Structure 1
């Protein structure tokens, strides 16, 4: 059995005609048409391993420059998202991730360790996001706080 689905091959053509193939190339255009409309909530529900995370990452990179482990103040923020020049109407986001702690503690860490200092030249809105995953209950908690520079 062949394991490659290269464009032009019979298996690739079969995948295109099957219900398993999802062409995500129009995701950005479709999403942009829905921003600030009644259709702004989009659900992309697919089984595992169908590229949902990749699609979200692709969308985020359309609007933001994403920095993982951003040096700021007295440590590293887990993720920082800075709007691209053509999307300055979007806020910058500093995200701190925790396991078995608290979303409140993650927000407090962003403030205490002064991660925001790395954005001192940024002039727009800023969101702080603290996210915690509880291994025992398998639940996430999230706090998003608007911050003024």
Structure 2
């Protein structure tokens, strides 16, 4: 269980602890239905205060190998689904919040390197035999791990568009970030290591 790789379910527990909780676990039935398909690349661009972060935390709690969430989801809509236990806490999952990374960088130009180094550090701890020291990019790491283990990844990126909004005049930060996203999700190789992407 890490901060970004295979996180626990504590962020979703906060939502469940709230006085007002609206069950949106029907989304999980949909994401289960598109796992490992061409529809498994989901970009949610709803307006602010729509519950996008809440949904990201819910998906992370459901899929992450770093959590034991059966009790948490029992009684919710998804627990009635025939595939509920089939996918529950079965996946290597990467959950990052770009807003958090930006807030912890002096310059927006450093966000991609900060994300990459943070996630690679955790992946190296979990899969040291799959990641030699020369691996320095996240797409290469995910490809090597999938090749070694056969396990695909679920990638959840919250506040995915914050650099586009908040660093609109920083061409280098924008170019680096778009290159990072393309490397993770575009082309043939990512289809080999991505089970689901939710931005």
Does TM-score exceed 0.5, indicating one fold?
no
Higher Rg of the two aligned structures: 1
TM-score by length of 1: 0.43
**Greater strand proportion:** 1
**Greater helix proportion:** 2
TM-score by length of 2: 0.35
